[in-house]
Amino acid sequence: MREVDVVVLGAGIGGSVAAGLMSREGYRVAIISQDAGTKNHLPESWDYKPLHRITNLGSGEKILSTLKKQSHCCFCSADGRRSVEMTVTDVQNKIEIGDLVQVDRNQFDRVLLESALEAGAKFFPMSTLERCEISSSGVATCISKGGELHEFTSSFIIDATGKRAFLSNHLKLPTREETLDTRVACFSHFETPASKVDGIRIVAIEGGYLFCIPISDQKLSVGCVLAERLVDLSASPEKIFGFAISLSPYVTELLAGAKRVLPVIPAKNTQKICLEPAGPRYRLVGDAAAFLDPFFCPGIDFALFSAEQAALTIEEDSALGYQRAIMDWLEESKRSVYQKMENSEWGAIMRLFADPHLPFTLPLMLTQAFTQIVGAEIPLNVGIKAARRAYDLSSY
Ligand SMILES: Cc1cc2nc3c(=O)[nH]c(=O)nc-3n(C[C@H](O)[C@H](O)[C@H](O)COP(=O)(O)OP(=O)(O)OC[C@H]3O[C@@H](n4cnc5c(N)ncnc54)[C@H](O)[C@@H]3O)c2cc1C
C-alpha cells in the first residue's frame, strides 16, 4: 500500500501540469497513466499564453522549444496534379503572448511530464485502473501494472484521463453534450519508406477532404472528413477510411507500401462538458472536465488553466471555487472565440489578397489558385468578386 497526497490519473497536459504544480508545493503525488508517457499526437495550434504558475515550473525555455510560428500548407486536387501552396512566415521569429503557434504535442507533453518528475512526482506508466473509491476519509485506488496489483491511498484524486473521462463516467456525474458537425472523420498513422510529404497537405475529394500531416521523417498522419450522405454509417472506421482514400489516386499512391501503425480512429464530433468537475476529494481537468470543439483550438489552453486551478483549489480546499473558475472560463472562451478571429493576423492577410488598390494582381492570383484546385476555368470576375467579398469580411 502506497500512501500519497494526490493521485493523478493521466500523463497528458492536464495531468503533468497538475502533478508538477502540486509536487512543487510539497505534496506527494503519484501519476498513473495507461500509456508510457509517449504519444502519437499531431501538432496542434495554441494561442500562446503561459500561465504564471506554469512558467514557475521552470521549463519555460524547454516549452518554447516545442513551439513554432511558421506554418506551411499545400491544398491539392484528388490526383495531386494541381496544387496551391501557402506559407506563413513570421519574420520576427520571437514568440510572444497571444501569438498563434504550432505545438509539437509529443515534445510538449514530454517536457511537462519531465518537469513534474523533476519536481518529485512518481510515475506509474502502462497501468490499468482496477478500482477507485472516494469516501469522506480518503481515496483508495488500485492499479495493475505488469501483472501486479498496486494499492494507493490519497487525500485527493485528479482525473486527467482526457476524453475517456474516467471519473465522470465512474461517478455518473451530470454532463452536457452537443453534436458539433454531421460530417464523419477518422484518421490513422503510417510509416512511410521515406518522407514523401514535406508539409501539411489538404487533398480535395468528392464530398470532403483528406489531410496528410508529417509527424516525423518516417511517420505520416492521414485522415478524412466526409459528408455523412457518402458514407455507410454502420461501416467500420477502417472501411470508411479505405473508401475515402480510394477517392484520391494521389493519397492511394502515397500510402502504397506504407505500414499502418495505429488503428483507424474515429474523431469525436461532440462537445461534452461535465457539470460537476469538482467535489470534496476530486477535480477533473482538461478534456476529462470539458471536451471542447477542437475547431476553435481551446483544448491546450483549457488543460493548462484547469490544471493550475485544480492545484490551487486543492491547496485552498475549495471545490466550489474550482467549479466557478471552470464555468467562468468556458463562458469567457465562447465569447472570445469570435473576437480572437476578428483580431487575428489572418484578417490582415486576407485583406492583402483583395486590396482594391492593387487592381487585379492579387485577385488574379486568387483566381488562378482556385482554377488550379478545382481543375476548371474560373472567370476572373468570379475571382475578383470572391476577393472583394474576402476584403469586406476581413475589414472590420
Ligand atoms: C482532432 C483534434 C484536434 C485538436 N486540435 C487542437 C488544437 O489545434 N489546439 C488545441 O488547443 N486543442 C486541440 N485539440 C484538443 C487537445 O488535444 C486536448 O484538449 C488536450 O490533449 C487535452 O489534454 P488532456 O491532458 O486533458 O488529455 P490528453 O492529452 O488526452 O491526456 C490523457 C491522458 O490520460 C491517459 N488515460 C486515459 N485513460 C486512462 C485511464 N483509464 N487510466 C490511466 N490513464 C488514462 C492517456 O493515456 C493520456 O496520458 C484537438 C483535439 C482533437 C480530437
Quickly list DSSP for 281-315: TEEE-GGGTEE--GGG--HHHHHHHHHHHHHHHHH
User: Which residue among 7, 32, 34 is best mutated to probe the pocket of ligand 1, counting the most ligand atoms within 8 A of its Cβ?
Assistant: 34
| CA of residue 70 to ligand 1 center, whole Å | 24
Q: Determine contact, residues 88/99, Cβ cutoff 8 Å.
A: no
CA dist., res. 317 & res. 314, Å (int): 5
**Measuring CA to CA, which residue among 72, 44, 86, 99 is closest to residue 343?**
99
Q: Write down the pLDDT at residue 336.
A: 64
* Every domain range in the chain assigned CATH 3.30.9.100: 184-266
Say which residues have a Cβ less than 8 Å from residue 301's Cβ, sequence separation at least 6.
46, 47, 49, 333
Report whether residue 12 contacts ligand 1, using a CB cutoff of 6 Å: yes
Q: At what angle do helices 345-354 and 361-374 cross, to 10 degrees?
A: 100
| CA of residue 240 to ligand 1 center, whole Å | 24
Helices (H), 50-160: 52-55, 60-64, 105-118
Q: Determine contact, residues 45/297, Cβ cutoff 8 Å.
A: yes
Q: Write down the pLDDT at residue 396.
A: 46
Q: Determine contact, residues 12/108, Cβ cutoff 8 Å.
A: no
CA dist., res. 32 & res. 30, Å (int): 6
Report whether residue 287 contacts ligand 1, using a CB cutoff of 6 Å: yes
Distances (CA, A) of 283 to 6, 14, 147, 162: 11, 11, 29, 13
The rounded mean pLDDT for the chain is: 86
| CA of residue 55 to ligand 1 center, whole Å | 21
Strands 128-135, 83-88: pairing is unpaired
| Closest approach atom of ligand 1 to CA 162 | 27
* Every domain range in the chain assigned CATH 3.50.50.60: 2-66+104-176+270-340
| CA of residue 13 to ligand 1 center, whole Å | 7
| CA of residue 297 to ligand 1 center, whole Å | 12
Q: At what angle do helices 345-354 and 319-343 cross, to 10 degrees?
A: 20
Please determine, looking at this structure, whether the domain spanning 184-266 carries the CATH number 3.40.50.2300. no
| Other Cβ atoms within 10 Å of 155 Cβ, number | 17
First to last CA, the chain: 62
User: Which residue among 16, 31, 42, 44 is best mutated to probe the pocket of ligand 1, counting the most ligand atoms within 8 A of its Cβ?
Assistant: 44
CA dist., res. 116 & res. 25, Å (int): 11
Report whether residue 160 contacts ligand 1, using a CB cutoff of 6 Å: yes
User: Which residue among 13, 71, 150 is best mutated to probe the pocket of ligand 1, counting the most ligand atoms within 8 A of its Cβ?
Assistant: 13
277: left (phi over 0), alpha (psi -120 to 50) or beta: alpha
Report whether residue 33 contacts ligand 1, using a CB cutoff of 6 Å: yes
Nearest residue CA, atom 12 of ligand 1? 299
User: What pTM, to 2 d.p., does this model score?
Assistant: 0.82
Q: Write down the pLDDT at residue 49.
A: 82
Nearest residue CA, atom 17 of ligand 1? 299
Phi, psi of 197 (to 5 degrees): -120, 130
| Closest approach atom of ligand 1 to CA 299 | 19
Report whether residue 162 contacts ligand 1, using a CB cutoff of 6 Å: yes
Report whether residue 32 contacts ligand 1, using a CB cutoff of 6 Å: yes
pLDDT tens digits for range 212-249 = 988 777 888 899 999 888 888 889 999 999 999 999 99
| Closest approach atom of ligand 1 to CA 187 | 1
Q: And the C-alpha cell for 213?
A: 500531416
The residues of the chain scoring below 70 in pLDDT are 56-59, 70, 90-93, 193-195, 295, 297, 335-362, 390-391, 393-396
| CA of residue 248 to ligand 1 center, whole Å | 30
Report whether residue 297 contacts ligand 1, using a CB cutoff of 6 Å: yes
Nearest residue CA, atom 35 of ligand 1? 10
| CA of residue 163 to ligand 1 center, whole Å | 6
Give the dihedral of Cα atoms 103, 109, 115, 116; nearest 10 deg: 140
| CA of residue 269 to ligand 1 center, whole Å | 14
| CATH hierarchy code of domain 2-66+104-176+270-340 | 3.50.50.60
| CA of residue 291 to ligand 1 center, whole Å | 9
Nearest residue CA, atom 31 of ligand 1? 12
Q: Write down the pLDDT at residue 350.
A: 62
Report whether residue 144 contacts ligand 1, using a CB cutoff of 6 Å: no
